[in-house]
Amino acid sequence: MEVIIRPNAADAADLTARIIAAKMRANPRLTLGLATGRTMESVYARLAQMHHADGLDFSQCRTFNLDEYAGLPGGDPHSYRHCMNQRLFSKVNIDLRNTHLPDGAAADLEAECENYERRIVAAGGIDLQLLGIGLAGHLGFNEPLSAFRSRTRVKALAPATLAQNAPLFADPEAMPRRGITMGIGTILDCRQCLLLATGEAKAAIVAQAVEGPMTGMISATALQLHPRCAVVLDEAAAGELKATDYYRWIFENEPEWEPFRTRPPAH
């Protein structure tokens, strides 16, 4: 794992967008894993800006989102499909047929989950998975006690997640109580993971995810198992980490991520 600490949230989002853009330029047929949540909004705004200003090309890129609310059709303004269309897909030259989210309105949700896994495999797997982190340490909707080998499935949402996301609904009571989410196993299969967390409210859970013991109670701790995972933070979200001097030294002197690497990786 590589921890990268930026002075503020805008810088952290900008760096995240630049890492994604560098991967897209190196491989125009990149399969990108995407995430929703407020933290990602500035990343998508920056990617849209790079598309307009620097011609960042999404035409051959494929995307798979982490999760969707069970029961919400893509046309619902609270669905993650709607959110992705609004925040990113409508602002860049991506072919909507290449953008994938679980269908929350599918008649058979279990079959939809299996089908989602098959679609990821058929696309050749996910090259780079963008991740946020919930206050309870979840990735996607992998709530506490998610198995580290879990695959895409329907998951009941924890009270902390309901409390965190209900304010985004016009009627908070209308927020679905279940979500469809890639499993931890699905996420660990991605070739690279890139987690972005900003703000003081995330500091405690980020410290547990990065430095704490691995536990099914905090699904983000599973990222410690991933051989190619970067965690991008602002100073506020890094506030409760213990080994920040070490992380800063590595990033400044021996960065391992391609966009910043100055020499071939050591073995």
List residues binding ligand GLP (CB under 6 A): 35-39, 66-67, 132-134, 140-141, 161, 165
Question: Is residue 134 a contact partner of residue 161, using CB atoms and an 8 Å limit?
Answer: yes
Residue closer to ligand GLP by CB (options 104, 134) is: 134
Minimum Å gap between C-beta 101 and ligand GLP is: 12
Minimum Å gap between C-beta 35 and ligand GLP is: 5
**DSSP string for residues in 115-147:** HHHHHHHHTT--SEEEE---TT--STT--TT--
Residue closer to ligand GLP by CB (options 34, 61) is: 34
Residue closer to ligand GLP by CB (options 37, 249) is: 37
Residue closer to ligand GLP by CB (options 48, 133) is: 133
Residue closer to ligand GLP by CB (options 39, 152) is: 39
Q: Which residues of 128-160 are buried (b: 16+ CB within 10 A; e: fewer)?
A: bbbbbbbebbbbbbbbbebebebbbbbbebbeb
- Please give the single-letter amino acid code of residue 27: N
180's enclosing H/E stretch is strand 178-181
Q: Say whether 209 sits in a helix, a strand or coil.
A: helix
DSSP E strand stretches across 39-140? 62-65, 67-69, 99-100, 128-131
Residue closer to ligand GLP by CB (options 71, 255) is: 71
Minimum Å gap between C-beta 102 and ligand GLP is: 12
Minimum Å gap between C-beta 56 and ligand GLP is: 23
In terms of C-beta density within 10 A (0-12 exposed, 13-18 middle, 19 or more buried), how is residue 79 classed? Answer: buried
- What angle, rounded to 10 degrees, do the helices at 9-26 and 38-54 form? 50
Closest to 13 (Cα-Cα) out of 53, 41, 33: 41
Minimum Å gap between C-beta 165 and ligand GLP is: 6
Minimum Å gap between C-beta 155 and ligand GLP is: 10
